[in-house]
Structure formats: structure tokens, C-alpha cells
Amino acid sequence: MAGVTRTPTNLTQGGKTKAGIGESTLRPDGTLKVTGEFAYSSDMWHEDMLWGQTLRSTVAHAEIKSIDISEAVAMPGVYAVLTYDDLPSEVKNYGLEIQDTPVLAHKKVRHHGEPVALVAADHPETARRAAAKIKIDYVELPLITDEASAVAPDAVLVHENRDDHHIGHVPHPNIVHRQPIIRGDADAAARRADVIVKGEYTFGMQDQAFLGPESGLAVPAEDGGVDLYVATQWLHSDLKQIAPVLGLPEEKVRMTLSGVGGAFGGREDISMQIHACLLALRTGKPVKIVYNRFESFFGHVHRHPAKLYYEHGATKDGKLTHMKCKIVLDGGAYASASPAVVGNASSLSVGPYVIDDVDIEAIALYTNNPPCGAMRGFGAVQACFAYEAQMDKLADKLGLDRVEFRQLNAMEQGTIMPTGQPVDSPAPVAELLRRVKAMPLPPERQWESSEGADVRQLPGGLSNTTHGEGVVRGIGYAVGIKNVGFSEGFDDYSTAKVRMEVINGEPVATVHTAMAEVGQGGVTVHAQIARTELGVQQVTIHPADTQVGSAGSTSASRQTYVTGGAVKNSCEAVREKVLEIGRRKFGSYHPAWATAELLLEDGKVITDGGEVLANIVDVLEDEAVELELEWRHRPTEAFDLHTGQGNGHVQYSFAAHRAVVEVDTELGLVKVIELAVAQDVGKALNPLSVVGQIQGGTTQGLGVAVMEEIIVDPKTAKVRNPSFTDYLIPTILDTPTIPVDVLELADEHAPYGLRGIGEAPTLSSTPAVLAAIRNATGLELNKTPVRPEHLTGTQ
């Protein structure tokens, strides 16, 4: 779009390299990011743009008696002030599955920080000051903040007139979704158990804490539509929610992915997209919205906090007999992805173990707490924290080694999941545990040296709180299971357009998908696939937009599997088309084409040298070959709403961790020394990127173990720490050594045998750290994150 400033190199650098599948190759955007030259969505500029600002509620649950915008409208430099009454369409709500979220609050607000009004002005500070002049008369309502207040017989309803498809199978309107899973007879199996352990676990609310806050630029178009440049995880899902609210057909809302500074699930939901478009269409000018860090904490969903109640039994020789559990997820004020999170939490609540008799229930609540939805690990993280603590309790009560106990009960290929679905690809749970246990341990008392203590290696670090006095080492293990891809009958597919042509005498491939590159490295993998399947060196990755078919969301560890599969499929079709043209042009007598055909028949690729390459150039000089194809994995099905049975998942991924921690037992300070990990990746398409994803996921799990939690005041339902000053995330000084052992056992159902990898290490790193702290202190520690007062008894 003329007038929009954005870098053309964000996602389009191809570069000459022979790196194909299985080789480590550097990211095309890597240098730009580390040097500060990469253009993120917040860097976009238009010469005559306005700035948008959102006014958010200061209370968590209240009626809106009146809104006075007169002072804001009168301010110089203000071009528009919008409230609910200004929305242009009959469609006023949006949502991923349930359209229960108002674009702007109407009659009431349901959580702290809910959008109420919008301002567009010629300067961001003017917009902020104008928003502050809007006067809202609130009458506060009773709060729903936990399960007890949500499901009480006289409970206030968060949503008074629910009509979504889940309402028929939930026992209370304040329950978003309920998924039981019943297999075998857990009560009868409990009577056969020699040992039974129970536990109640609390998992805190975690923020995605991506580095680039929500931002985007909406530009009104001459055809009455709008062009939106935005950082998101799913362009086409955004489009389907945005267009109806604007009262426009989808073809008049054109979306282009801009530079994304991380996501982790927090960009699956709409944030500023609709607001920027509304202001642009109302003023006739481009409108840019950029959240600051404070607003970002209110502008996206978080990981569901959870209460988890578990019971396990085992025989005296260590075989698991049964499991019962109830998982209560706090979904906050709006549904977001809560139904899918419930499905994941329930279906993966057993963990990577064989248990024939289970009684499982998972629910998500509507409350007046902040909305929660997708975050890396998506329901399986909370469950893993609880079931791994249970495994340690059982092993200890039986007098068995904690790792050997897990291996004794580990699932494998052919195991039947609690949902009745057989695991039909490698499930090397016991092997991963063996590998991670066999890794060398870091040396004892490594802070000591001939020159004195290196305090950086001690709990408390540079605060110099100890020189080793009262410091105890602990070691803990954990393993987890995560599904890959969308589940429960969702039509999960992706689309890829591949073009092959000759430019300046060289064959060039262009790959165009709507995949959101959010830092996971998909642009690198797509180029590797094209080089492998087409035999070319030069590959250009077209910017992602809605001018090509949907690629689905960059979430659920699915993009390499699904969009990578689509790129592979389209490349294969282009390759065959090129050879077909060559056969027509040269005939079978031509030796170069005979060689090319033999290579194809042998399952190899067109080579990039000699006479074959020259003939490709000849074939494509007069015409380009371009094909756009969809690709789907095998179908899934919804879980039965009464028994939970069904083939609900596409693929499973597994990771195991060993944590080594040192704890200052006097001050309650923890230093994680090492988080070793072993993970099966099926096939490492880019080994360097694979290790980076595993280390990144591991660090995110470390964060929720010992520092990360959004604190919500139980009396007011207000967020108390919406800043990186008070919401702590791991820095490089907090990040331990993370040795990685990559196992490659191919899944025959997946492209190249690959397995989604991004989420599994987030599961088991958290319980491994907790297990190590328990090992060091002897404390039970059934809550995340662990704080000093939990270790010193001062809470």
C-alpha cells in the first residue's frame, strides 16, 4: 500500500544456500533482529496517520450508567471518539469459538481493563489525554472470582443470556465447558491398590510476556475497505472476526502480517485489530495503535490458572492401578480458547503413562478475572504439574526410584489413551527418561574457586546474600505428553502457493502462505523444504497475507507439520509440472530429461548443476509454474461429552527434564543450575532451530516454576502487577545451562516423519524444577510459582 513504511526484508530474504531438510541453517531475519534493524509492527509509519487509544474499565464488574465523551471530543487534535453506540454493524461481538466478547463494553463491564471507548488523535499523547477525559459512571456488581462463587445456587451470572453450543452440557451457566473422561472402573481399581496418594495443586496465572506489545496499522482504501498490517498468529481467523463487525465483506478487509515480536498464544485472540479499523474507517485516515507494556497485560489473554485435585493408586510392585482427577480452569470473563483448553487438559491429564481405569473431569469457569486462553502448552502444562508431583509421591511411598517408577508405567507405541485412542507412532517415554538421567551432572559446589565464592552461581546471585551457607542441592525429574495440531474434529488444514520461474538465468522458487512467523522459524523451514523438493538454491518467502488460502494458527506446534506439509505438497506438484513441460518440450529421447525423470522415480530431487539445471532454465524461460494446494492431516473427532471417548488428537510429542537446583534454605532463594532435556522430534528439519525451540520452551517452564504469576486481587479482581517491574520473567542471569539430547524416531503419518516440538518442553520443565526444590528442602510445594515464603515458612 502506497505510503506504508515497512521493511521488505522481514520475511522475504531467500539467499543462496544449499541448506535443505535436516541441515542447520541460519534464519533470514536473525541478523536484523539482533542488530535492531528488524521492522516490527510497532515500527510502521504512514505520513498522515492518526494514533488510536483505548479507554479501559477501572473496575472488574459493573453496570455502565453513562458515558460522557464531550470533553474528549472537544480537545484539539482529536478526530474521533467511539463507543458501543457507534459500531457500524449489527454484529457487535467476536470470539475464537464463542462470540461472547464485545468490541466495546455495552451496559456492563466484566473484567478489569475491558475496552469501553476509542479515541483517534494526531499525536499519541493527545489520544491518551483525550481518553482520560472520558467520564464513565459505574455501579459495581458482585464479583465472581473462583469456583465456589461461580457455581453457587445464587451466583451472579457473568453472561446472563448464554446461547452457545456448550450451554446444554454444563451444570451451571458460569461453566464455559465441561469434559469428563471415563474409562474402566476407577472405583473398583482403587480397591485393588496397595498404595493411594492424593494431592491438591494450584497453578498460577502466567502471561505470555512477548517482547513486542500489540500493535498494527489500519489504512482506509478507496473501495471502502481497509488494509490492516498487524502482528497476529492467525490472519484468516482475525479476518473472519473483523469483517462482520465492520459490516464489510471479507474481500474488502485485506490483512498483511507485520513483524511479530513473539506470541506464545497471546496473539490468537483479537486485541487492537478491530479498534484500529473502526477508527480508520470513521476518520478516513490511517490509524496506528501500539499498546504500552501496562496495556498489553490487559490487551491479551493469559494462561489459565488452575486448581487440580488428583488421586492415584498403585500396587506394591509399582504398577499404576487407577487415577481420579478434577481440573478447574479459570477462564475469566470471556470464553476465548477455554473449551479447547478443557479438552486438552482432560484428555492429557493422565500423562504419558498406562492407566486403564480413570475418572476425569475438567471444567473452565466464567469469572470476573482477566480472560484466559491459549498459551504454549495449552491445558497440558497445568495437568503435567500435578500428575508429575503425584508420580514422585507414589514412588516415595513405595520406596522406588522416581525415574524407574515412571519407566515401569511409561506408555509406548500401541498404548491406548484414556480417550480410547491408540498411540500409533513412537512414544519413547522410558527412553527419554533414561537419556536425561544418564546425562552428566554439573559439579558440586561449583561456586567455589581458589579466589573465593563466585556469587553469580549462588542463590541470590549478585545480591551477595550467601557464600554457600545454608545452600542445599536438589535433583528432580519430570516427563510430559502434548498433542500436536488442532483436535476434536476441527478441520485443521493449511494452504501453500509455490511458484517456480527463471530470474536472471537462475531457477527461483517463491513460497507464499498465510503462516504467521512469530519467531518459531517457519520461514526458514519453508525455504529448506522448497530447496529439497525443487532442487533450487534461490527461495523467496512471500510476506504472509490473506491473498492466499488460510494456514491456520501458529500454535499447537502445528505449523511445520501442517503448513510444512502444504509447502511440500505444492512443491511436489510444481516439480511434476516442470518435468511434464520438459517431457513435452524435449521428449523422452533427451538425455538430461531422462536423467531428471530417473532421479524423480528414485525419490530424489532435481539437481542444481550440469545439464539438468540448464534444461530447467530452458523450460521455464517462457512460462512460470505456480500451484496453490491445500494439505490436511488425518481427521480427528470430538470427544464424547459423557465418556470422553474419541480419536481426538493427530499426534503426540514427548519431552523429559532433569532439573538441578540449589536452594538457600534460610532465605528461601532458588538457583536453577541446570535443566537437561531429552526430546523426540521425529525428524529435525533444522537441528539448530530445534534446539533453540526446546531451550526456549524449557525457559518458559522455568519462569512459571519460580517467578512468573499475574496477581489478581481476590477482593477486587484487579490485576496488581501489570508491568515487567512486578511481573518477573527469566533473564539470561536466571537461565541455567540447558543441554539437549534430540531423539529422532520418525512418525510415518507426518511429512518427513517430523513431530511438533515447540510446546512439549514447556510441560515437564516446571514440575522438574519443583521436584528438585522438594528434593532439596523436603517440603511438599503444591503451588506455582514457588516463592521464598513457601520455603521459609513465613507465608
Q: Could you tell me the CATH number of the domain that includes residue 691?
A: 3.30.365.10
**Does residue 114 fall inside a structural domain?**
yes
- Residue 584 and residue 478 share a domain: no
Residue 241 CB partners (closer than 8 Å, separation 6+): 94, 95, 96, 99, 270, 274
- Residue 228 and residue 122 share a domain: yes
For position 166, what pLDDT does the model report? 96
Residue 721 CB partners (closer than 8 Å, separation 6+): 710, 711, 727
Number of C-beta neighbours around residue 132 at 10 A: 13
Q: What is the mean pLDDT of the chain?
A: 93
- Residue 590 and residue 461 share a domain: no
Q: Among all chains, which residue has been given the C-alpha cell 475497505?
A: 225
**Does residue 399 fall inside a structural domain?**
no
- Exposure string over 284-294, b if 16+ CB within 10 A, otherwise e: ebbbbbbbeee
Tell me the C-alpha distance between 559 and 549, whole Å.
Answer: 14
pLDDT in tens, 430-439: 999 999 999 9
Residue 335 burial (10 A CB sphere; 0-12, 13-18, 19+): buried
CA distances from 547 to 5, 254, 278, 304 (A): 20, 8, 22, 34
- Residue 500 and residue 472 share a domain: no
- Residue 686 and residue 564 share a domain: no
CA distances from 59 to 113, 116, 140, 356 (A): 7, 11, 8, 47
**Does residue 331 fall inside a structural domain?**
no
The answer to whether 538 and 509 have CB atoms below 8 angstroms apart is: yes
- Residue 97 and residue 70 share a domain: yes
**Does residue 391 fall inside a structural domain?**
no
Of residues 644, 717, 668, the one with CA closest to residue 305: 717
**Does residue 605 fall inside a structural domain?**
yes
For position 10, what pLDDT does the model report? 35
For residue 411, give the amino acid letter.
Answer: M
**Does residue 523 fall inside a structural domain?**
yes
- Residue 676 and residue 579 share a domain: no
For position 597, what pLDDT does the model report? 65
For position 682, what pLDDT does the model report? 97
Q: Among all chains, which residue has been given the C-alpha cell 512467523?
A: 517
For position 455, what pLDDT does the model report? 86
For position 602, what pLDDT does the model report? 56
Q: Among all chains, which residue has been given the C-alpha cell 477486587?
A: 716
Residues in the chain with pLDDT < 50?
A: 1-16, 607-610
For position 672, what pLDDT does the model report? 97
For position 505, what pLDDT does the model report? 81
- Residue 583 and residue 501 share a domain: yes
- Residue 516 and residue 463 share a domain: no
Tell me the C-alpha distance between 730 and 720, whole Å.
Answer: 20
- Residue 745 and residue 672 share a domain: yes
The answer to whether 460 and 504 have CB atoms below 8 angstroms apart is: no
For position 562, what pLDDT does the model report? 98
Number of separate domains in the chain: 3
The whole-model pTM stands at 0.95
- Residue 719 and residue 621 share a domain: no
- Residue 236 and residue 114 share a domain: yes
**Does residue 781 fall inside a structural domain?**
yes
* Residue 481 DSSP code: E
For position 594, what pLDDT does the model report? 67
Return the C-alpha cell found at 264.
Answer: 506464545
Domain final position from 299, 322, 351: 299
Show the CA angle centred on residue 760, arms to residues 403 and 646, nearest 5°.
95
Tell me the C-alpha distance between 546 and 250, whole Å.
Answer: 10
> What is the CATH classification number for the domain harbouring 57?
3.90.1170.50
For position 536, what pLDDT does the model report? 86
The answer to whether 113 and 56 have CB atoms below 8 angstroms apart is: yes
**Does residue 747 fall inside a structural domain?**
yes
- Quote the domain boundaries for residue 130: 43-141+213-260+267-299
